[in-house]
Amino acid sequence: MSVLEDAQAMTSGEVSEFRGETTVVVPLAELKASLKKCRDAQGYEMLLDISSVDYLGEEPRFEMVYELATLDDSKHLRIKAKVAEDEDVPTASDLWKTANWHEREVYDMMGIKFAGHPQMERILMWEGYPYFPLRKDFPLAGKESNMPEVAFSGVAPLEGGPFVTSPGATREHGEPRARGES
């Protein structure tokens, strides 16, 4: 079966295809059942990645993205589910062990909590850091925080603009620098 047929075989969810990549958007309530069905019935044995997107200003605000693959013929299926700010996502760590750390990263960076996760703690930032840095309302330069004896953070000087590369320029001008300064 092709990926598209696999996706259509799922009982619910809205299927779309773009440049050979198939995506299914399911309601959050059916997310766990869909993942389990993909793994057990359709052969998507491998979880490649879990990520999340912040659509600030939209409702529901967040979206979970799961990248699945089959091991024998490398079929690739993407499953998405919208999540509101006050909702918890059911954990996938009992389906795939690798989901444990992926979900902790999503929690660390985006602040989405996972129900049933065995260890719902930060993985990159330190326990007690008060912000979720990948949210759209978090500034690029960072914010001040201080936990005595553990860690502190400050605001990075952006010097008039984000510190970015510019495409299509000469090598000298394309190097990372503050916009407006170079």
Burial class (CB in 10 A: 0-12, 13-18, 19+), 146: exposed
Burial class (CB in 10 A: 0-12, 13-18, 19+), 98: middle
Which among 8-16, 28-36, 112-120, 144-152 is the span making contact with other proteins, rule CB under 8 A? 144-152
Among 149, 168, 171, 172, binds other proteins (CB under 8 A): 149
Quick one: 21 or 175, whose CB is closer to other proteins?
Answer: 175
Tell me how crowded residue 122 is: count the other CB atoms within 10 A of its CB: 15
User: Is the alpha carbon torsion for 88, 93, 94, 96 positive or negative?
Assistant: positive
Nearest distance in Å: CB 158, other proteins: 6
Q: How far apart are CA 77 and CA 16, in angstroms?
A: 11
Task: Kindly tell me which residue out of 41, 71, 156, 169 binds other proteins, with binding defined by CB under 8 A.
Answer: 156
Does 150 engage in binding with other proteins (CB under 8 A)? yes
**How far are the Cα atoms of 8, 23, 85, 141, 175 from residue 42, in angstroms, in the given order?**
11, 15, 31, 44, 46
For other proteins, the closer CB: 121 or 149: 149
Please tell me whether residue 169 binds other proteins under the rule CB under 8 A: no
172 sits near other proteins (criterion: CB under 8 A)? no
DSSP assignment letter at 176: S
- Judged by CB under 8 A, the chain residues 101 through 140 that form the site for other proteins are 124-126, 131, 133, 138-140
Min dist CB 142 to other proteins, Å, is 3
Chain contacts with other proteins (rule: CB under 8 A):
124-126, 131, 133, 138-143, 149-154, 156-158, 162-163, 176, 178
